[in-house]
Amino acid sequence: MFRFVTSRLLQSLLALFLVITATFFMIRFVPGGPFTAEKAVTPEILRNLEAHYGLDQPLWRQYLDYLGSLAQGDLGPSFKYPNRTVNEIIADKLPVSAELGALALALALFLGITLGTFAAVRRNTWVDYTASTFGMAGISIPTFVVGPLLVLAFAIHLGWFNASGWYGPTDRVLPVVVLGIAYAAPISRLTRGGMLEVLHQDFIRTARAKGASEFRIITRHALRGGLLPVVSYLGPAAAGILTGSFVIETIFQIPGIGREFVNSAFNRDYTLVLGTVILYAVLIMALNLVVDIVQAWMNPKVRLEA
């Protein structure tokens, strides 16, 4: 276990280094820069701006400088928002996305696992068909359709909520539901598939023969194996959902990190692009590690090997 974790950490560090290097150079080679504007700044002003941000240095030098400050935990200043550092922006916005994501994930897990389990147990009945319809609809109808529809119904016509914003607790409801449904759909399908496989195995039959109740069979015996596909899906999904959804955050005007992720690239805000990419990479690596450990615990067939 210890060897496994250390070796994975080392691998992750190497991958992270590659991600940083690739992103650093790729974003620099995209046409246009942080100060490219419709009203062109004069050459003198551009020179001073570049000098201020160190962009007048050779690229390799900038790269080394960036790695140097990164090693000290400094992600640098934002180009678009001169008043803020990338560290500040992430510290300000990640909690918002994480809150939205955690709530949505909880809803998605509850909805998805419940529906998926019922569908598997009552296979080929109306329960199964309803759950499958939900799953298909949830996967195929994008959030930018579901979101505005819910706003139209619940905010504009019924007047229960604000159309957008992130002020009070009621502002959480609509975005959490929209994002939750989007993730509940694949979870319900994965749960159904996993459960169907497990429910046909010998140890379930043994449990039945011993006279265990259906409820006990599912919760104590079947779910542990049946949820394996969901768990491996959850690693990358959780990283994605916690770092925010560009679409949901834009539709509902939520001050999360998901929008920065996309907008920073449009703005050629080099440091913010790198900051968000590093954040996402670290989260994915960490969550995948957690998933591997959880899977080993859930499935005796999996062994943690370095």
- Per the structure block, which two tokens stand in for 229? 């596909």
Compute how many other C-beta atoms are within 10 angstroms of the C-beta atom of residue 297: 12
249 contacts 97 by C-beta, under 8 angstroms:
yes
Compute how many other C-beta atoms are within 10 angstroms of the C-beta atom of residue 111: 21
Secondary structure (H, E, C), 39-76: CCCCHHHHHHHHHHCCCCCCHHHHHHHHHHHHHCCCCC
Compute how many other C-beta atoms are within 10 angstroms of the C-beta atom of residue 220: 12
3-state secondary structure of 237: helix
CA distances from 136 to 142, 146, 185, 192 (A): 11, 14, 7, 13
Q: Name the minimum Å distance from CB 94 to other proteins.
A: 13
Interface residues toward other proteins, by CB under 8 A: 30-33, 35-45, 48-49, 51-52, 77, 80-84, 89, 92-93, 148, 151-152, 155-156, 159, 162-167, 250-255, 259, 266-268
Q: Name the minimum Å distance from CB 46 to other proteins.
A: 9
Q: Name the minimum Å distance from CB 280 to other proteins.
A: 19
Indicate the residue among 42 and 140 with the shorter CB distance to other proteins.
Answer: 42
Q: Name the minimum Å distance from CB 209 to other proteins.
A: 58
The partner residues of 77 in beta bridges, in order of sequence, read 85
User: What is the rounded distance in angstroms from the CA atom of residue 248 to the CA atom of residue 258?
Assistant: 9
Q: Name the minimum Å distance from CB 147 to other proteins.
A: 9
Indicate the residue among 93 and 192 with the shorter CB distance to other proteins.
Answer: 93
Q: Name the minimum Å distance from CB 272 to other proteins.
A: 12
Indicate the residue among 173 and 294 with the shorter CB distance to other proteins.
Answer: 173
Element (H or E) spanning 297, and its range? helix 270-298
For the chain, what's the residue count? 306
Indicate the residue among 248 and 291 with the shorter CB distance to other proteins.
Answer: 248
Indicate the residue among 98 and 119 with the shorter CB distance to other proteins.
Answer: 98
Q: Name the minimum Å distance from CB 239 to other proteins.
A: 22
Q: Name the minimum Å distance from CB 6 to other proteins.
A: 39
Using alpha carbons only, give the angle 113, 282, 26 rounded to the nearest 5 degrees.
120
Indicate the burial class of 271 (C-beta count within 10 angstroms; 0-12, 13-18, 19 or more). buried
Q: What is the largest CA-CA distance in the chain?
A: 85
Using alpha carbons only, give the angle 15, 292, 189 rounded to the nearest 5 degrees.
110
Indicate the residue among 51 and 136 with the shorter CB distance to other proteins.
Answer: 51
Indicate the residue among 269 and 292 with the shorter CB distance to other proteins.
Answer: 269
Indicate the residue among 87 and 250 with the shorter CB distance to other proteins.
Answer: 250
